[in-house]
Amino acid sequence: MIPENAREILEKALFEAGKVLLSHFGTSHKAKVKESISSVVTEADLASERTILKVLVDTPNPYNIITEESGYVSHGSEYTWVVDPLDGTSNFAAGLPWYGVIIALMWKGDPILAGMYIPVDQDVYLAELKKGARKNGVPIRTTPSSNLAEQLIAYSFDFSSDPA
């Protein structure tokens, strides 16, 4: 179900986009507000997306692509790449290092492969259907405890005045 070269394409796109983001991080740039102050886009978003699109399209049989900034591009495939070229744009624009690149591959609407790259830490997270998830090649495990008091739970959100 997962195409033979999909993981290599995914990793190349993640790492190439990560290089682009690092080259923009900490430099003077303008953030453009999209829907609300917590939804912004920077030149780094667009440059990262261009880099990812080049990697994903420059393959013998490109898949459909959905990107945060450009929308949907059909290549008539059962497979679709879903791309967030800069997850954490607000952090990035504020000079905070908590951002990354996220790309997933869907097959007939179901996720089968996904990756996230955190360029500042050089951490890569990969997950494959029926193979679990890994951080830098090491399997990620959940804690064996079911006691909520023994769990670490983190939650984050951006404020928006939109009641929906």
CA atoms lying within 13 Å on the CB side of residue 11: 14
pLDDT at residue 117 in the model = 99
Rounded Cα distance between 134 and 158, Å, is 28
pLDDT at residue 164 in the model = 47
114: number of Cβ within 10 Å? 18
Residue 25 phi/psi, 5-degree rounding, is -65, 130
pLDDT digit string (tens) for 102-152? 999 999 999 999 999 999 999 999 999 999 999 999 999 887 888 888 888
pLDDT at residue 94 in the model = 86
pLDDT at residue 144 in the model = 82
pLDDT at residue 30 in the model = 67
For 6-150, the fitting CATH number among 1.10.600.10, 2.20.140.10, 3.30.540.10, 3.40.30.10 is 3.30.540.10
Residues in the chain: 164
Look-up: residue for tokens 């420059």? 58
Residue 65: name the closest of 81, 78, 45 by CA. 81
pLDDT digit string (tens) for 42-53? 899 999 999 999
Residue 130: name the closest of 110, 108, 146 by CA. 110
Look-up: residue for tokens 């607000």? 90
Question: Is residue 89 classed exposed, middle or buried when 0-12, 13-18 and 19+ CB atoms within 10 A define those classes?
Answer: buried
pLDDT digit string (tens) for 55-114? 999 998 899 999 988 899 999 999 999 999 999 988 898 899 999 999 999 999 999 999
pLDDT at residue 158 in the model = 60
Question: Domain segments of the chain: what residues?
Answer: 6-150
